[in-house]
Structure formats: structure tokens, C-alpha cells
Amino acid sequence: MIEDDAAVFVISVAASLAGMHPQTLRQYDRLGLVTPTRSGGGGRRYSARDVALLREVQRLSQEEGVNLAGIKRIIELEHHVEALQQRLVEVTAELEQTRTAVAHAHSNAVASLRRDLVPLRDSALVVWKPDRG
């Protein structure tokens, strides 16, 4: 199975899959809307994710009436949200590790304190007060 990020489609195939003209893909690349990888010879190579993004650009433009500058901003914000979501996952994992470490340290501290306590049996408690005189 091919990964979504694998750059496997030449511009003509990507344009066909997205239902666009290859010149439109070139324009979107120049505008920074969809940035394909480049082959050794400089040719554009599109991934399945790029093709999906091209379709989304087309949908936003044709169905929602968003101009290309607006689409570019939407894409930037979506990338930012994805990065923030990934960071949230990382921070949540770090927090869980910290909670586990604190719980473990607390258990060890409590266990070490209990070793210092000696149970007394058959004994009386004597309260000593120093003589203040």
C-alpha cells in the first residue's frame, strides 16, 4: 500500500485525479497553496495527500466562493491546528509520565517512612515536661 505522503504522481496524473488542468496545479504551486515535492530533474511529484488538498482547494473556491488568498490562509490555519493537536498529544503523554513518576516517588517515600516506624506493644505513653523553675 502506498503512503498518503508518498510523492508518486506526475503533474498530469495529479491534475486528472483532482479534476483540474495541469496549469492550475502550477499556479497553485507558485502561490504556495499546494507544494509538491520535486524529482531529481525538477519535475513536480504529487502525493495522495496533495491530490486531496487540490480537491479541497477546488471545493472551497467553487462551492464556498473563497478566493485564493483566503484558501491559503485556511490551509495555513489547518496546518497550525494540526501542529497544535500533535503538541497536545505530546504534552499529554509527558504529563502522564510525570504523574506516574510522582505517584511512584510518593509511594517510595511513604514506604520508606513506614520502615522507620516501629510498632510498640504493651507499653505506656509517658509525657515529659521540663521543669521551668
Domain boundaries, the chain: 1-66, 74-113
Give me the pLDDT at residue 108, please.
84
Fold of the domain built from segment(s) 1-66: Multidrug-efflux Transporter Regulator; Chain: A; Domain 2 (1.10.1660)
Treating both helix axes as pointing N-terminal to C-terminal, what angle do 68-116 and 48-62 enclose, rounded to 10 degrees? 120
CA distance 7 to 120: 75
- Where does the pLDDT of residue 130 fall: very low under 50, low under 70, confident under 90, or very high at 90 and above? confident
CB-based contacts of 47, cutoff 8 Å, min separation 6:
3, 4, 5, 6, 7, 8, 9, 36, 37
Predicted local distance difference test score (pLDDT) of residue 35: 92
Look up the pTM and report it.
0.68
Percent of the chain with pLDDT over 70: 89
* Average pLDDT estimate for 81-85: 97
* Selected residue with higher pLDDT from 40 and 4: 40
